[in-house]
Each structure stands twice: as structure tokens, then as C-alpha cells.
């Protein structure tokens, strides 16, 4: 990162930090305005959003699809502003807003000397998973794909580190996890985006379409004999989320990647169908 990029990153971080000091109700007012701009003025990936929703819910009428799309833009804007707000939040406040029902499950696995692979998706406010390290007495990593913009990358890195989350680039993840397999840790995989290499991907009927899924999390879980949990995140109300850790059984003989990913895709689909506006519909999920 060059000196000019560092200066720009620091300046933008300072401005973002100032915005985060605003009351959350003000930020939600700003969020509603941003959602209007994204949908009506910029029309941010609107064709992608409508097409994805129409394919996922073929029985809905166009007005119903439009309603979900509108709710999606508001939720998408909320997540963006909530991430900014977390910069100045105390841990206690965020834990009240992003309530993990059963963190003791992770502690139980840790006491057994197991690594834990957490599978989740871009549902509700996935970025607030950054609070998880404050709930457990052992390392917590989230896998991520570095952003193209070094300035944006610098800001997001500082935000995600705020409560102790460790960041693990996807390109280095397998090597790191296998090398440290004897040191119990929690690894979070957000694996619902379209994989670049579909030849080795597993396909399932997901939201009424044949859909390919990343295999990395399942492969690594089997390779290091890790416990696997699905991280279910559901919105309770604006600014409040409930998180439940659901064990994915890997104990049966000859448990395969397909078994793990099949359960993961089903649980993720259940969360999306229960709150359809809260998934990342702007992603080109079915581009292959």
C-alpha cells in the first residue's frame, strides 16, 4: 500500500468513524434514503435482483417480486450502515443486538480439542459475526476475499478486527487450517457465492435452481476431523438479529462432502425462504 493510499484510507476511516457516532435511528433514516437512491436512481444491479428473485420464487406475481426487491434494498442499506455503526459500538451493545443463542456449543467442541468449521451465507447481517470472538476463549477466523480497492480493504479490515476477529484470505486458508489443525479454532466460511471453478463444485436444487457450491469448508472439515455447524442468522427487527448454531452431523460412517453441503444448502434455503428480502440478491449467483 503506497503512502497516498494510506493517507486516503486513514482519512476515509476517520470520516466513517465520525458517521458511526450518529445515533442509530439517524443512520436508519439515512439508510432509507440510500436504499431509494440505489433502487430508483442508480438502479444498482436491479435487473440481477429481479431476475434472481423471479427464478427463486417462480410462483410469485411480479408485484410481490417488486415488493421483496424494495425490502432487499432497504435491508442492504441497513447492513452497510450497521457495519459502520459497529465501529463505535461497545461489545455489550452489539451482543444485545446480535444475540448468539448457544455459544456454549462452540466451547463444548473446543474442550473436546476439535476445530470448528462454521458454514453460513450472506443472510441478515453476516458482518456482525465479528462479535463472535468476544463470546469464546479461543481464536476465531473468518475467511474472506480481499477487495480490489486497497482503501476499502483497509477500512473493512479495521472494522472487522474491532472485536477480535482474525481475517484469513481464502487463498491461504487451506494451508493455514491444515498446518494448525492441532490448535483448536473456529473458522467461519461464507460459502453461498458462485464458485469460480464449477468443475469440482457440488450441485444441489437450491431455490428452485441447480446451484453449485464451494466445497472448501466441507473438504477441510473432513480432512482435519473438525466439528461442523451451520450459523443461522435471522432478523428479529430492524437492528436486531438472532443467531443459532446448528450442528451438522459428520459422525456417520463414510460421511462425505456431499452430505455436509446438502445439509448446509437446505438450512440456508430455509433461512432465505423465511425472510426472502434479507439475502444478497444483487450477487450474480447463477451466472454459470
DSSP 1: -
Would you state the pLDDT for residue 198? Answer: 72
**Which whole number is the average pLDDT over 95-119?**
97
Query: Chain centroid to CA 33: how far?
Result: 24
Strand partners, 166: 141
Q: How confident is the model at residue 196 (pLDDT cuts 50, 70, 90)?
A: confident
Rounded Cα distance, 192 and 194, in Å: 7
**Which whole number is the average pLDDT over 259-282?**
97
Q: How confident is the model at residue 107 (pLDDT cuts 50, 70, 90)?
A: very high
Q: Which helix (H) or strand (E) holds 210?
A: strand 209-213
Asked if residue 249 lies in contact with residue 236, where contact means CB atoms within 8 angstroms, the answer is no
Q: How confident is the model at residue 73 (pLDDT cuts 50, 70, 90)?
A: very high
Biggest CA pair distance of the chain: 56
| In the chain, domain spans | 3-278
In degrees to the nearest 10, what's the CA dihedral of 29, 30, 32, 37? 150
How high does pLDDT run on average in the chain? Answer: 93
Rounded Cα distance, 38 and 195, in Å: 26
SS3 275: coil
DSSP 67-87: HHHHHHHHHHHHHHHHHHHTT
Asked if residue 226 lies in contact with residue 248, where contact means CB atoms within 8 angstroms, the answer is no
Asked if residue 211 lies in contact with residue 285, where contact means CB atoms within 8 angstroms, the answer is yes
DSSP 124: S
Rounded Cα distance, 231 and 220, in Å: 17
Rounded Cα distance, 116 and 114, in Å: 6
Query: Chain centroid to CA 235: how far?
Result: 13
Phi, psi of 236 (to 5 degrees): -90, -45
**Which whole number is the average pLDDT over 226-247?**
97
Above 60 in pLDDT, residue 1? no
Cell numbers at 78, concatenated:
441497513
Lowest mean per-residue pLDDT among 175-184, 196-205, 240-249: 196-205
Q: Which helix (H) or strand (E) holds 119?
A: strand 116-120
Q: How many Cβ atoms sit within 10 Å of the Cβ of residue 47? A: 8
Above 80 in pLDDT, residue 6? no
Q: How confident is the model at residue 7 (pLDDT cuts 50, 70, 90)?
A: confident
Would you state the pLDDT for residue 225? Answer: 94
Amino acid at each position: 500500500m503506497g503512502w497516498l493510499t494510506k493517507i486516503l484510507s486513514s482519512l476515509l476511516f476517520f470520516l466513517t468513524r465520525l458517521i458511526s457516532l450518529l445515533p442509530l435511528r439517524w443512520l436508519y433514516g439515512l439508510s432509507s434514503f440510500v436504499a431509494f437512491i440505489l433502487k430508483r436512481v442508480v438502479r444498482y444491479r436491479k435487473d440481477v435482483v429481479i431476475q434472481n428473485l423471479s427464478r427463486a420464487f417462480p410462483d410469485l406475481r411480479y408485484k410481490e417480486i417488486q415488493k421483496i426487491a424494495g425490502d432487499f434494498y432497504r435491508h442492504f442499506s441497513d447492513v452497510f450502515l450497521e457495519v459502520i455503526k459497529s465501529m463505535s459500538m461497545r461489545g455489550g451493545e452489539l451482543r444485545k443486538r446480535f444475540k448468539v443463542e448457544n455459544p456454549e456449543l462452540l466451547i463444548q467442541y473446543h474442550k473436546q480439542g476439535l476445530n470448528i468449521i462454521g458454514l453460513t451465507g450472506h443472510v441478515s447481517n453476516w458482518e456482525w459475526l465479528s462479535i463472535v470472538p468476544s463470546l469464546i476463549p479461543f481464536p476465531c477466523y473468518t475467511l474472506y476475499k480481499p477487495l480490489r480497492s486497497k482503501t476499502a480493504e483497509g477500512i473493512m479490515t479495521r472494522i472487522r478486527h474491532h472485536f477480535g476477529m482474525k481475517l484469513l484470505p481464502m487463498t491461504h486458508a487451506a494451508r493455514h487450517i491444515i498446518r494448525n489443525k492441532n490448535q483448536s479454532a473456529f473458522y467461519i466460511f461464507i460459502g453461498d457465492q458462485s464458485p469460480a471453478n464449477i468443475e469440482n463444485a457440488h450441485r444441489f436444487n437450491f431455490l428452485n435452481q441447480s446451484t453449485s457450491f464451494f466445497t472448501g469448508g466441507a473438504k477441510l472439515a473432513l480432512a482435519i476431523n473438525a466439528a461442523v455447524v451451520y450459523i443461522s442468522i435471522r432478523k428479529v427487527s430492524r437492528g436486531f438479529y438472532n443467531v443459532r448454531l446448528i450442528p451438522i452431523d459428520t459422525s456417520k460412517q463414510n460421511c462425505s462432502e456431499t452430505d455436509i453441503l446438502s445439509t448446509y444448502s437446505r438450512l440456508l434455503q430455509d433461512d432465505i425462504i423465511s425472510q426472502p428480502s434479507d439475502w444478497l440478491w444483487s450477487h450474480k449467483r447463477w451466472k454459470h
